[in-house]
Structure 1
């Protein structure tokens, strides 16, 4: 099956959020559930802990603050597709299902769901839920919220989740039924993120184009409500006392997001104690922050991998042997050391184990162990280039002045290409032009490679491989492989998690061999938690789970 998407918000902002190589670090993430923390060893022997739980709060706190590296572009769930947007929205708006810190799904605004046949999903909404204006949640609100993402005139960033949906209808006082055109296991898995957010239908109609901005705001059901948005300065959330989930009642009466774009100023605000915490701290500042005595640097499980996107398979990189040669020539251990202080591990695949939680043990082993491990081998790489008749051929690599990782990766790629007889030209563009690579095919004309940090928003590794099928909007290089497409399409229609994971493992093996993207590393999410606060469960799920409600007095 060929997928067609409306243009969606590009992944670049997720890379910008990294700043100086936050997410290029890598780990197998085996300690992401079940224990408070695990210890991993970086590829040059650096020890660091993966933390999934902090000490429980001793009580409520009047207020605390977190730093944002940039102002949210929007709080409209239909477009929220970036770190600043989603880490705020996660505490204010809620979805039909809840993506938990261990990347499992549980009931959210839907108290239950069922799949009576392969083309039907039925959601029973939770009684007693109210929006922040006090009005009750109804099935009509759910239908309006979901249909809005399907509306072509909206152009939602999450349209792809709904691409196989035939209809969304109210089938009971608190019941919504979704019919799909083909069996689609991935639709329900997407209901734990922004694609499953439910907003008041009346608010959507009344706010119009101002919905989700600093003027119109939002009216959702989460543990916090948006009190004030001072553009360029801060967003203030206050506890919603009518919140339905007593276990996630906010422990703080107020929390403030301070917008601090400058990395040095952000680090100084944390070191001084003027700001209590921040996700995605620059790794080069980790030792300073830990030594400040103002809090702790933690490393959370992540679903992100850093990769080189092959954006032209009609040129030199159209030959698999050249892609493999470049992979063999890259000094990925050197990249890891220079970009992320050896926090993490080199990866040969495009996913982390965080999104394989429901997979069988056999499938997980197949996906991560029974693959080609690309140890640096220049002699073998040169031979592959010669066999492909590519010696002396040219490549164009596009980068931007965004972070230390951009510089490290671009220079490492240049060195690798030159070492095996390829000519590579680095073209530096503005961040805005770089963003266009992810959304505008014309921006990728004449471009062979660019860098991305790509994270998954559902608890299923199949999300990664769905975007690499023939014709998909995010298949930026036009790569096509029939066996891969057939495998992924079969997996999409498979509802049993163990059976689906076996197919996904096969897709991962094919991608590992064919290299439509070149994986570099995958790693932990660094954050700083000030000494006044605790209770947080560190996880990549902070983009969708109401993490701020857990934080209270240390």
Structure 2
């Protein structure tokens, strides 16, 4: 066998990191169906918390549901929006009316017809129930279905990011009203996607079977079985032994060996996800920009990147990675303890304690916290590390019960995804309580500017201020790392970390 290593470079990928734990349970035979042919065995890092694509925030759920549901439009490998359930669309001259023409003949897995009413229901559900992605509809004033094949979306202002808001899979799937109202969607989801749910054994696996009536053509695979393996070394051993065909639970310390392996394919691409630190500006002394800047100068990003990713991540002092068309160069905060101490002296800070919120569910946060504690000790800052489970971590963040926290932000495509929710004064994820009127104006303007060059300049200005004032201390952009058997063909690692098996096949 020839060595095969695939690298794909593209911009961006949308939703906060979340983790669902594994639990033991009984088998649930969803459809009672079986398929002939090859079933791909995939190992993912944990069990979905539920299978409602609009309610879950678990990446493990999205890894499965990407193959069960569709969106109105979808990003291609370059993260440019392409037709999906909408075959085409037009925008009015005033940029306020978007008309989407839907595909003919699309059906849900239960055989019911897909129509424009399903799109209207799905989007209104997100808005009315204030689900996690409701903020993506902030510019929308009306969603209507003049006939079964047409959806009209009216916005109150030009919205150059509308397609990316509708096409980022996580949370934006088109669902069946009957499936939702019956309550079955959490365990027995009915979508329009290339695979349907066949079997779910909680604590062990989920099996999908190919949808022969898929509008994009029946998949070549007979099905996909997802197994839940949280330990990277265990997943890699299973792949090497031929017990599984594909995994994204790859030990980063093994990447170098996998690059030279003739027996496995390594897929690795830079992502638009980012990891960051945030200081609580509602508390003293973290409300003093000089203190926040001092900590930014004290952090050893290179040591953190090496420790948590074995060098596979890209150190970055802004959110948007270098391969993106929206990238802005910025390198203000080289590690400089003398500069850090000078800023603390200027602020009148003579030492104290800092409680850092990490989580045992994301070991990289704990590893980084230990490095940060050593970085800040020479400045007279004693770091205590809190390690709750992720659900508790979220509660602590949302209640403002932290001095500093570390977490990641997933699924970014448009620059609005990178900045608005977390750094606008009214942003729904602005847990650090950052507020700057100039940044607010720039982010507001970016949402309506239709000229790409002018829009890029707005976001570059906003990003620079955000970093200068340390709303976040950006650490790095991770890579998407996956590995699979040479018998797997037609699969590509994507920068948005979307797991798509509809064009994949298995060879003997």
Pair 1:97–1:517, CA change in 2 (3 A): same
SS of 1:510's equivalent in the other structure is helix
Residue pair 1:471, 1:478 contacting (<8 A) in 2 also = no
Alignment of 1:3-42 (within 5 A): 11-13=16-18
Distance (Å, rounded) in 1 between the aligned partners of 2:419 and 2:322? 15
| Equivalent of residue 119 in structure 2, options 142, 145, 154 | 142
Give the aligned partner of residue 186 of structure 2.
Answer: 212
| TM-score normalised over the length of structure 1 | 0.81
Distance (Å, rounded) in 2 between the aligned partners of 1:276 and 1:123? 38
CA-based RMSD of the aligned residues comes to: 2.5
Pair 1:346–1:78, CA change in 2 (3 A): same
Give the aligned partner of residue 127 of structure 1.
Answer: 104
Give the aligned partner of residue 426 of structure 1.
Answer: 385
Superposed CA deviations along residues 6-50 of structure 1, whole A, max 9, x for unmatched, are xxx983426999xxxxxxxxxxxxxxxxxxxxxxxxxxxxxxxxx
Superposed CA deviations along residues 280-333 of structure 1, whole A, max 9, x for unmatched, are 423134456668865233212311111112233432121111111111111111
Give the aligned partner of residue 332 of structure 1.
Answer: 301
Give the aligned partner of residue 459 of structure 2.
Answer: 504
Give the aligned partner of residue 374 of structure 1.
Answer: 333
Distance (Å, rounded) in 2 between the aligned partners of 1:346 and 1:388? 28
Give the aligned partner of residue 454 of structure 1.
Answer: 409
SS of 2:18's equivalent in the other structure is helix
Give the aligned partner of residue 201 of structure 2.
Answer: 230
Q: CA deviation at 1:265?
A: 3.2
Give the aligned partner of residue 188 of structure 1.
Answer: 163
Give the aligned partner of residue 469 of structure 2.
Answer: 514
**Structure 1, 254-263 or 382-391: larger mean CA deviation:** 254-263
1:177 aligns with 2:152: yes
Unaligned runs of 5+ in 2: 1-13, 23-35
| Equivalent of residue 465 in structure 1, options 419, 443, 452 | 419
SS of 1:225's equivalent in the other structure is strand
Superposed CA deviations along residues 313-361 of structure 1, whole A, max 9, x for unmatched, are 432121111111111111111112222112233211112245x34x5xx
Alignment of 1:305-454 (within 5 A): 305-353=274-322, 356-357=324-325, 359=326, 364=327, 367-368=328-329, 371-438=330-397, 440-441=398-399, 444-445=400-401, 447-454=402-409
Residue pair 2:258, 2:265 contacting (<8 A) in 1 also = yes
| Equivalent of residue 481 in structure 1, options 428, 432, 436 | 436
Superposed CA deviations along residues 441-480 of structure 1, whole A, max 9, x for unmatched, are 2xx32x11111121234x2122111111002221111100
| Equivalent of residue 257 in structure 1, options 209, 226, 250 | 226
Unaligned runs of 5+ in 1: 1-8, 18-59
| TM-score normalised over the length of structure 2 | 0.87
Distance (Å, rounded) in 1 between the aligned partners of 2:365 and 2:122? 38
Count of aligned pairs between the two proteins:
479
SS of 1:112's equivalent in the other structure is strand
Superposed CA deviations along residues 226-270 of structure 1, whole A, max 9, x for unmatched, are 111122111111111111123xx4121111111223444333322
Q: CA deviation at 1:88?
A: 0.9
1:68 aligns with 2:44: yes
**Structure 1, 72-81 or 174-183: larger mean CA deviation:** 174-183
